Every structure is written in C-alpha cells, then in structure tokens.
Amino acid sequence: MVTLGPFLKRELRLLARQKADWLNPVLFFIIVLSLFPLGVGPEPNLLRIIAPGVIWIAALLSVLLAAERLFKDDYRNGVVEQLVASRQPLLAFVLAKLLANWLSTGLPLVLLSPLVALLLNVDMPSFIAMLLTLLLGTPLLSLLSVLGAALTVSADKGGILLALLILPLYIPLLIFASAAMEAASMALPYHGQLAVMLAMLLFALALVPVAVTSALKINVS
Amino acid sequence: MRAIFPIVDSQRPVIKHQPFSVPVGQLLLQAQSLSCIRQDRVLFEQLSLQVHAGELLQVAGKNGAGKSSLLRLLAGLATPDEGQLLYCQQPVADVATDYAANLCYIGHQSGIHEQLTALENLAFWRAAAELPPADDFALLATLGLAGLEDIPCRMLSAGQQRRVSLARLWFSHSQLWILDEPFTALDQSAIAMLQQFFLQHLTCGGAIILTTHQPLSMVYDGLNTVELAYRW
C-alpha cells in the first residue's frame, strides 16, 4: 500500500518553492473583487445584489488560472511516465496533487472571504452562506480543474482548451452557490442548495481520482 | 565530480538483494511478433525477443529506429499494434500489477523534479517504490554527489542529474530494469561504475533491457543484442 504522506510532502514543498503558482491566482481573486466596486460604483445595495455572482465567478477563474501548470512539470520531466509504468503509486500521486491544489488555491479563497465580504458589502447571513458555499465548492473546483489539467497535459498550449473543457462543468456549481447566497441575503433557507453542492462534491470525489489516473495513462501512451 | 569528503567503506550502502520472484535462467519477459507503427511509419514488425532472469538485452539501432518505442512497449506504457507481451508466460495485461511491481523503468526523461534537491527526489521515488524513508547521503556519496545533496537539481549538470536519476536503481527491489539511454551525459568513471553495478544486479538474478550507443565494456555471459534497422 502506497502512503499519501511523502507524496503530499513533495507537493507542498514544490508549492513552497514555486510561490507564483498559487500566489498569482489568489492575487487575481483579490484584484478582481476590489476592482468591481470601482467599476460599478460604490452603491451599497447594488454591490450586495451582484456580490454572489461576482464572488463565485472570480473564484472559478482564479482556480482555473492555477490549473494549467498542475501536471506540466511532472509530465515534462518524466515523473508521470515513470509513475504510470509502476502503476501502484499513481493514485497516491494524483490524490496528493488534488489535496495540494485545494490547500493552495481553494483554502486561501475561504480564508479571504471576510475581506471579500467587506469589499462587496455582504451582510452577515450572506457571509455565512458564502463561507459554507466556498467550503463545499472549492474542493469541487479543485477536483474538476485537476481533471482538466490531466486531460490537457500533453497539449502544448492547453490553456484555452482547458478553459473550454472545464468551465461548462463549473456552471452547476456557480448556479447553486450563488443561489444559496442570494437566498441567504433574503433570509430564506438554503439547505437545499448546499445539499446539492455536497452531492456534487461527493460524486466528483468518488469518480475524479480514477478519471485523472486514466487521463494521465492515455497522455503518456 | 570529485568527492569532497573521503568516503569510508563503512559509509557505503550495503546492497541487500532479496531473492527475486523469478529464478535465474527462467523466462521473465517474452515478446511475440510485436509491431509498432508511429505516424504511418512501421518502426518494426514481427519482432520477437526473450529475456531470462540474469540476462541483459541491449537494444541497438540508429536514431529513430524505434528503440525508445520498443522500450515503452516492453514497459507497458504503450500497447503494441500487433503481437503480445508475456510476463512469466502470462499476457502482461492479465498480470499488469505484478509486472509493474517487478519493473523499474527509467525513460529518456530523468524523472527528477528540477526544483527539488537530490535527497528530496530520492525520497519521492522511495515512497513510490513503497519503501520506508531512509538516509540517502551515503548513496549519493557513492555516486559522486557528496556535498550536492541539498541543492535543487536544476543547479546540477546534466551528468549529475542523470546520476541522481539512476540512484533509484540502488534501492530498487525490482527484478527487471528497463533503461532508456542510461549512459547519456555520464563521464567514463560513472559509466564504468554503472556497468559494475549492472553486473551485480545480473549475477543476483536480475534482468536489464537498455538502449545505448556505446559498446558495453562488461564481460558477462548473458549479454544479448537486438539490432533495430531504420526503416522508411
């Protein structure tokens, strides 16, 4: 049985050495959200109305920004190929990539949410909904972007292909997450939306790691 | 690279060879009438070969003759367009996990991450080989990399990177090694050391399939060569 620990340690070490890989998407998220009040005007009610959609679109795009380089280095230097040849450790490698991707792109968004709430004048009930949707939604974003990165790893300029492939899969998440936040701002229950998001997350969690290993196998053969 | 610190014999890693799963002299890997087509060009067809435990098979041929493609087929990374591959007389597809566990494939790319140090790269490959973490200082010193363990591999020369990449063989428990151009960028002394190490692996019952353009200087009974012709 291959243990996940050393693989995760390697990914975290690489993130610590290649800070631009995860800092750029996080900075992008903050910059987009701080530009919105300047662009649409500082009208508090207007900001509150557009906040759910804006926050989630910024989150989607920033995660997408981090996705492209996920497997690129390891594909180029032969690590992926040699792991495919030895079969067993490939799944642990993929799981470590997934976890490291969420820790470096999803978790910072969750941690930054109080700042975002201030920037866009989000009230307390909506803020709690935002926190919950980000907690449930960002792991799903990571899962889907790792899948997209694995499928496009051998494409030279895979960036736009990756976006075309993955953005449609993000749409259900976008709809339910912003619906949950909207419901919260109107003091309506939003358990239903959260439950759907959780279901999507669990479904992806079960299928995506296997799909990623197959995608990597196809790309090296 | 000259070792900065003198190496005492007691520092040298002791290689403990477990008995391999296939006894010496028995058929380990068999290819039956393999064909490989790349971009509408037939690289080879009707290619059959056998590798027994304790044998070294050198795949020779010009650039573009299909040596790497053959090695990738043998490593199970690609499926042959025709023919089949047998591991211990069973189709590789049926025993894929067993075969992969008994195989160490080091391809054309080194398999080391440039941002990680030699020690960190080796720790990763140890984990991938399901081995417990260990101190690789002595191993790297044997390979002439003393003092370079802690700097990112992108700072190392091509030959030194190749040494880091091949260091994996020293702790590998796999019986069959498939190595694509292992001597690339290595200096004469490293090539000699590597061949000495190959000999040790072979006499312990291991098997090696490799490609190289350099003639092997080792003297051993079980050396075989397959020559691939370049075809248009």
Q: What is the ipTM of this complex?
A: 0.85
Number of neighbouring beta carbons within 10 Å of residue B90: 12
Find chain B residues with C-beta within 8 A of A87's C-beta: 96-97, 100-101
Please give the single-letter amino acid code of residue A100: A
CA A193 to chain centre: 19
Digit-coded pLDDT (tens) for B179-230? 999 998 899 899 999 999 999 999 888 999 999 888 888 778 778 888 888 8
Instruction: Assign A137 to helix, strand or coil.
Output: helix
Strand B82-87 with B90-91, pairing: antiparallel
Instruction: Assign A125 to helix, strand or coil.
Output: helix
Task: Name residues of chain A where pLDDT drops below 50.
Answer: none
Chain-chain contact of B107 with A78 (C-beta, under 8 angstroms): yes
Q: Measured between alpha carbons, how far is A119 from B135 in angstroms, rounded to an integer?
A: 50
Chain-chain contact of A77 with B112 (C-beta, under 8 angstroms): yes
Q: Which residue pairs from A156-163 have beta carbons closer than 8 angstroms and sit at least 24 positions apart in sequence? A: A158/A68, A159/A68, A162/A64, A162/A67, A162/A68, A163/A64
Write out residues 123-182 of A within 8 Å (CB-CB) of B: none
Write out residues 51-110 of A within 8 Å (CB-CB) of B: 73-74, 76-79, 81-89, 93
- pLDDT above 80 (res B144): yes
- The closest of A102, A141, A104, A117 to A55, measured between CA atoms, is A117
Q: Between B79, B113, B133, which is nearest A79 by CB?
A: B113
In sequence order, which residues have a C-beta less than 8 Å from that of residue A189 and are 6 or more positions away? A183
- pLDDT value, residue B18: 60
Maximal CA-CA distance, chain A: 58
Looking at the complex, report in whole angstroms how far the Cα of residue A214 sits from the nearest Cα belonging to chain B: 12
What residues make up the domain containing A29?
4-220
Give the residue-averaged pLDDT of B68-97: 89
**Number of compact structural domains in chain A:** 1
Distances (CA, A) of B197 to B1, B5, B22, B188, B202: 19, 22, 20, 14, 9
A20 CB within 8 Å of a chain B CB: no
Of residues A158 and B114, more confidently modeled: B114
- pLDDT value, residue A25: 93
- pLDDT above 60 (res B113): yes
Chain-chain contact of B110 with A221 (C-beta, under 8 angstroms): no
Q: Between B77, B101, B120, which is nearest A81 by CB?
A: B77
Residue of chain A whose Cα is closest to the Cα of B154:
A77
Chain-chain contact of A78 with B110 (C-beta, under 8 angstroms): yes
Instruction: Assign B149 to helix, strand or coil.
Output: coil
Q: Measured between alpha carbons, how far is B134 from A121 in angstroms, rounded to an integer?
A: 53
Q: Measured between alpha carbons, how far is A210 from A188 in angstroms, rounded to an integer?
A: 38
- pLDDT value, residue A218: 92
- pLDDT value, residue B23: 83
Distances (CA, A) of A127 to A48, A56, A112: 11, 13, 12
Looking at the complex, report in whole angstroms how far the Cα of residue A132 sits from the nearest Cα belonging to chain B: 35
Residue A190's Cβ-side half-sphere holds a number of Cα atoms within 13 Å equal to 27
